[in-house]
Amino acid sequence: MKPIRIALTKGRLEKKTVELFEKMGFDCEQLHHKGRKLILEIPNQNLEVVLAKAADVITYIEHGVCDIGIVGKDTIIEYGGSFFEVTDLHFGACRFALAGKKGFDFYAGHAEKTIATKYPNVTRKFFDDKGIDVKIIKIEGSVELAPLLGLSDAIVDIVETGSTLKENGLEVYEDVAQISARLIVNTVSMKIYQTEIENIINQIEQVLRESEKK
């Protein structure tokens, strides 16, 4: 049988995912010493791991070139897509928030506000739900710079510890959504490799239950 291929989000979620795999008894040697290798093996498990940017994890799962993905709810909300969202992994917990310069009264006045964000769809929906028109400017990183430079009135961004906001004289005006890492599965893979995939999901859920007890 071909290996089950798992797409992991690089960066913030990576360390926690490797920890999860180790608790499942997986040998993560290749994941720890990956060098420039892109497709990594988990010995004795018939599993392959691909490390990818968050949005690409969704693309690989949707197209069925990877069977299982681990990705943040932020990316799922922003990009959507057709796959099964199976399990809330609880790690990578953070939130989307509307934030900006300290003391600024965001909802005061009638002038249209400008929002900088890496997440234009999340931002559009948040303000559409409130019936408020805003101008959205897409930024690729360090979104907090936008209000500091005078590019925007506020940002919609991820807040984890809050230290980036604090160190830059910014504050949260309002929470937008809670976020954590999710396990997603390609819909066809779920049928073809049902036993293998359910087995992996069960192992993950068992580790999650055990860590909840601690």
Query: Which of 164, 168, 180, 203 contacts ligand PRP by CB under 6 A?
Result: 164
DSSP 112: P
**Is 163 an interacting residue with respect to ligand PRP (CB under 6 A)?**
yes
**Is 159 an interacting residue with respect to ligand PRP (CB under 6 A)?**
yes
In whole angstroms, what separates CA 192 from the centre of its chain?
Answer: 26
CB of 99 to ligand PRP, least distance (A): 10
**Is 180 an interacting residue with respect to ligand PRP (CB under 6 A)?**
no
Residue type at position 86 = V
CB of 213 to ligand PRP, least distance (A): 27
Q: Per CB under 6 A, which of residues 114..153 are in contact with ligand PRP?
A: 141-144
Q: Choose one: 27-35, 154-162, 177-185, 196-204; the region binding ligand PRP (CB under 6 A).
A: 154-162
Give the residue ranges of DSSP H helices in the chain. 12-23, 29-32, 54-62, 73-79, 120-130, 145-149, 163-167, 187-192, 194-213
Q: d(Cα 152, Cα 174) in Å, to the nearest integer?
A: 16
Structure tokens at 211: 């860590």
Which residues of this chain interact with ligand PRP, rule CB under 6 A? 141-144, 157-164
